[in-house]
Structure 1
Amino acid sequence: MSIVTLTQIKAYPIDGYGITGIRRLMYLELILKGEIKGSMPISGAQKELREIKLSLFDTSKGDSLSTIPSIDPALQKSINALFPNLDESYSISLLDI
């Protein structure tokens, strides 16, 4: 497992399966279209690509969104210890707030 950040940040819109390949988005989109049965997502999770704007992207406050930090071996070892059996199909995000 390794920590990866994206050089181009993308949101996960309800119609974003074609861009992201996230199967959950296809599932939710089919529910919204009425093609399959399931629980309707909350209103915020029903946003389409054209409706999402990342506030920090391309601003001086979002300058750290365009660079990839170097890998910290000690941090990576600690994260690996937290999730020793993490399947490669899963990922985690680490936020420094």
Structure 2
Amino acid sequence: MSDFCCRTFFLPAVPDPAGLYGAICAAVPPCYLCGQGFSNNCLRFGLEGGLQAELRFYADRCEIWLRHCPPDKAETTAGVYGPLLEELVTRLGRGVKK
């Protein structure tokens, strides 16, 4: 099992984690993405198969980290969840900025 950053993308401003967390939970059916919480400019989500995603927000960017991912599935998993989470943060984050 490994933890790795599967995607980094730039943001004009750091979104409010609480608002973004609520917006993501409302937009994604719970069977696909199960919200686990937010703190210190991070959001954590449980994914299918026991995987976890962590969105780490910095002043100008967001990093998507995947945790508990088997090395033989890392590339496929990153290809599925990286773009999905980037799209959600980019689209939903517009309305919940600080």
Query: Normalization by structure 1: what TM-score?
Result: 0.23
Higher-Rg member (1/2) = 1
Structure (1/2) with the larger strand percentage: 2
